[in-house]
Structure 1
């Protein structure tokens, strides 16, 4: 019986295996054709860092750029735009790889919120890349990243016990799936166009705080939306850099770092998605939350932030956590919105990935 179950699992994962075969074939062809071995040797530190980053990307609602950005920007003193573009580029492999594994393994996804969020991200991400990201000063790119993820870390530390104990998902807000998804996807796409990450955290926060969703649903859903936004974002940036190289400059180091890190994240992110179902989530989320808060103070010290700019950064953390608290309050006190308590949709909003494809 166990042998049959093992065979069924292997058979179910054939799309993921086909993806890995295709990716590594293309990657190796690029290395051989361009004689990229020297570049790999020169950029091994980012590959090493992304071994951790890709695991975090697959096992938490955080893209691999959450590690790649501070490593490149704070440790290697690269500009924020490079960290952003690298994050999108590397996630277009790592998060896509994790998403394909999630689909193949038939993990539950909240399609009710995810479907409109994908539409919102398709609009917001390229719009942000064209009209917002080029005009944000480098320091504010770094601070936006630091504020968003510090807020995420604080929220988890405060609500950790409730988040890890939640089961299922509430249907209380289902009538507003379309507008909530579009709003979160659009605004999250703009945030991702500036920092390279963020839309995953926003979808995740909406699910766990407002919808009271199980992490087994919220984390895979956040991985899928980040994978989609990463592909859209790096594609938009690549196209814009060819149209107007001066305004939408993409540093060649983005490609060099991507070439070194891509083969690591292609396996690391799906590995995180696998492990998260086998071990308790609390230790991983606790470590990640502390890292998120730590990188905020690291950014403040590294950039010598003080005065009004420091005030804005701290105010930003408080403001984002204020939004989190509001979502939590609304999600916990459902009676405050009795008008929303209509009948649930006929089609379940939470479905296995394979069921959505089949439907």
Structure 2
């Protein structure tokens, strides 16, 4: 139910935020947006039918929070230890780099199919680390991207699969008034504060969600070892991404 509710509520909240972003002309990175959006469609649809039904919930949740904990660590080091600068736009991309972003969309779409979100975080992590895209630009872009994925995912479950639980609908109905105003407010705040403030909020959310997941799941040793393995893999991956990017630290 959690995934279905997440898609349902984001189809309203993220869409409201995306409309505010568009109306206020808050900068988004259109190349990143469109390429990832294209890849997210087969990822979301394929993930819904072929992946999500076979993923154990506890392992899926811990994999998610452990992976993004490693991303938070990498972003913190880049922003505060290495003190690397950020860019406002992606550079001109080769066909291979464009294909990479489409591939990130496929992976992110699958994550959205499993967790109810993921394409936003997955693509955000990729462009902020590999290309050093500013969090102030990456955030509204990823919000717009997730709005598209949430509407598509909600429609898939509500109209095609028809597996939306009545309890999820009830939670959705009572939450709509909150997210309709709260999500655009969040978009406004992001557009006004310095990018390092956004990054600091992101670190906090990542740590809190990891701690909350451990508290709720109370994993046994095999699951803890799995979580540690995912975290270690993420650390290696995310610390390598900036080295693969075309933007130098001095740019």
Same fold (TM over 0.5): yes
Distance apart, 1:103 and its partner CA? 1.4
Q: Which moved more, 1:212-221 or 1:256-265?
A: 212-221
2:38 aligns with 119
- In structure 2, the partner of 1:311 is 225
**Alpha-carbon offset, residue 172 of structure 1:** 5.8
Q: Quote the residue 1:190 is aligned against.
A: 110
Q: Which secondary structure state, in structure 1, belongs to the residue aligned with residue 28 of structure 2?
A: strand
The runs of 5 or more residues in structure 2 that have no matched partner are none
For residue 292 of structure 1, what is the aligned residue in structure 2? Answer: 206
- Alpha-carbon contact 2:18-2:140 (below 8 Å) kept: yes
Residue by residue over 1:300-341, the C-alpha shift from the partner in whole angstroms, topping out at 9 and shown as x without a partner, is 23322122221111111221232211211222676xxxxxxx
**Which residue in the other structure is 1:236 paired with?**
156
The higher relative CO (CA closer than 8 Å, separation ≥ 6) is in 2
Q: For 1:221 and 1:199, how far apart are their aligned partners in 2?
A: 11
Mapping of 1:192-211 within 5 angstroms? 192-211=112-131
Q: Measure, in 2, the Cα distance between the counterparts of 1:119 and 1:219.
A: 18
CA RMSD of superposed structures (Å)? 2.4
Determine if the alignment matches structure 1 residue 216 to structure 2 residue 130: no
Are residues 123 and 328 of structure 1, via their aligned partners in 2, closer, same or farther at CA, if it must alter by over 3 Å? same
Most deviating of 103-112 and 191-200: 103-112
**In 2, Cα distance between the equivalents of 1:304 and 1:220?**
34
Q: Structure 1 residue 287: deviation in Å?
A: 3.5
Alignment of 1:1-359 (within 5 A): 82-161=1-80, 165-171=85-91, 173-242=93-162, 249-331=163-245
2:211 and 2:125 map into 1 onto residues whose CA distance is 23
Taking structure 1 as the reference length, what is the TM-score of the superposition? 0.63
Higher-Rg member (1/2): 1
Q: Which runs of 4+ in 1 moved over 6 A?
A: none
CA shift for structure 1 position 113: 2.4
Gaps of 5+ in 1: 1-81, 243-248, 335-359
Segment drifting more, 170-179 vs 301-310: 170-179
Give the length in aligned residue pairs.
Answer: 248
- Deviation (angstroms), 1:165: 4.5
What is the Cα deviation at residue 141 of structure 1?
Answer: 3.1
